């Protein structure tokens, strides 16, 4: 009897996790989920009845997984919508996801309107050289309302009577690395201007064209807009504001037939992340603009470690942008696109841990996943009596570096 009770509770624990996640995902998908929900409930009832007959929990779980696999394998996906006659407007195409998406959509036959900051820049020149005449490049800074309005006029002129099928809100900016207290107010304002206000302005400006075609609005967001990633407060806050705006629009514009999808990518190597000079300039700018009291409290070595951690994390990010590009295509052409897409390695695991595990565990997971800081702020080291020890260690490292540099100079001479 005790074995049965143990099996039952093991079964209940495992099933609660899997079923809770499945139902949450189904309800969040915002599609006609009745057949899927009925199938899941049927599988749950079946396994529950088997467990009631004292079946071992492991065997019951195996049968449940087999039923889920059978349903998934045999549920034929709906065919994708045709590409012919569809036009898409994409922001932030100088590099990264935007640049790669323009080339992919052009190869598929879409008519593409791509915004760049500089029509003579490297990214724009590359698109001109590899893309077909279906791609129209528009110089747009999304923080400038006049440029957005001009882009609307240019787009309307080329579309004629045809509506705009898709808007891909890709343009974004991450200008800081550092603790929330150390981040400059200019960083907070810069992120909000591009990631929130600029994207809101673009979306509102192009909504009439999208309502005309009952099209799609796809927004590239970030898990940092929903999870407290260390040292990303200004960027995460702007993405959190954007997520709420998009979700509100999704509810309000449902009667118009528009569909909204938000993409939450993992770490990918885009933009300036591979540029060493960029990180050095950001670090120097932060040091020069911090108040003397804050610089003394935290210490230059603490800020330097943060810069190095960000730079090293950027080097390990994936260079293959195809997962995000393919997700954008799916959101554009799926008859019933998902409201949320988790794209890239580790994102689903992170959301699973942050959704179902205690806060203490999820916080530790985020710290280990992103920036693994070892240097404590200077004021805390002094309180713990570690300031002198670290100072000696840093001095020894500097002396060793000087000796090595002198040796290298001698060898060169």
Residue 176 to residue 9: CA distance in whole angstroms: 47
Residue 8 to residue 140: CA distance in whole angstroms: 60
Residue 102 to residue 112: CA distance in whole angstroms: 7
387 to each of 290, 298, 321, 376, 377, how far by Cα in Å?
21, 12, 43, 9, 10
Residue 47 to residue 55: CA distance in whole angstroms: 9
Counting every residue, how long is the chain?
Answer: 413
Q: Is 92 left (phi over 0), alpha (psi -120 to 50) or beta?
A: left
DSSP-derived secondary structure for 162-185 = PPP-EEEE--------S-TTTS-H
Contact present, 261 and 339 (Cβ < 8 Å): yes
Contact present, 336 and 78 (Cβ < 8 Å): yes
Which tokens go with 101? 């998406």
Which tokens go with 68? 């889920």
Q: Which residues contact 350 (CB under 8 A, 6 or more apart)?
A: 223, 227, 365, 366, 369
Annotation says 341 is catalytic: no
**SS3 state at 342:** strand
* Given the residues 235, 298, 302, 342, the one annotated as active site: 235
Active-site positions?
235
């Amino acid at each position: 009897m005790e074995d049965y009770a143990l099996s039952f509770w093991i079964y209940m624990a495992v099933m609660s996790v899997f079923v809770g996640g499945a139902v949450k995902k189904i309800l969040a998908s915002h599609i006609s989920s009745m057949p899927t929900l009925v199938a899941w409930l049927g599988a749950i009832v079946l396994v529950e009845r088997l467990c009631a007959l004292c079946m071992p929990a492991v065997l019951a779980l195996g049968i449940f997984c087999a039923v889920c696999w059978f349903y998934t394998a045999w549920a034929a996906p709906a065919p994708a919508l045709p590409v012919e006659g569809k036009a898409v407007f994409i922001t932030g195409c100088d590099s990264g996801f935007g640049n790669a998406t323009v080339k992919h959509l052009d190869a598929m036959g879409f008519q593409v309107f791509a915004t760049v900051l500089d029509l003579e820049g490297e990214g724009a020149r590359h698109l001109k050289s590899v893309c077909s005449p279906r791609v129209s490049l528009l110089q747009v800074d999304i923080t400038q309302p006049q440029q957005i309005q001009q882009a609307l006029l240019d787009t309307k002129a080329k579309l004629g009577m045809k509506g705009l099928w898709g808007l891909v809100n890709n343009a974004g900016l991450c200008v800081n690395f550092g603790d929330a207290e150390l981040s400059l107010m200019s960083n907070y304002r810069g992120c909000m201007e591009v990631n929130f206000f600029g994207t809101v302005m673009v979306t509102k400006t192009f909504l009439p064209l999208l309502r005309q075609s009952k099209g799609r609005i796809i927004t590239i967001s970030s898990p940092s807009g929903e999870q407290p990633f260390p040292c990303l407060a200004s960027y995460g806050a702007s993405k959190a504001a954007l997520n709420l705006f998009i979700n509100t629009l999704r509810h309000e514009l449902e009667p118009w037939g528009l569909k909204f999808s938000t993409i939450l990518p993992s770490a990918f190597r885009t933009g300036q992340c591979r540029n060493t000079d960029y990180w050095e300039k950001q670090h120097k700018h932060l040091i020069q603009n911090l108040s003397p009291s804050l610089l003394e409290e935290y210490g230059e070595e603490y800020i330097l470690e943060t810069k190095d951690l960000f730079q090293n994390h950027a080097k390990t990010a994936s260079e293959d942008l195809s997962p995000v590009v393919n997700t954008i295509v799916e959101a554009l052409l799926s008859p019933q696109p998902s409201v949320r897409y988790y794209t890239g390695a580790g994102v689903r695991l992170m959301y699973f841990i942050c959704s179902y595990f205690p806060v203490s565990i999820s916080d530790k997971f985020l710290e280990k996943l992103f920036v693994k800081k070892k240097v404590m702020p200077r004021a805390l080291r002094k309180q713990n009596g570690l300031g002198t020890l670290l100072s000696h260690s840093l001095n020894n490292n500097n002396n060793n570096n000087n000796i090595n540099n002198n040796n290298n100079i001698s060898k060169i001479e």
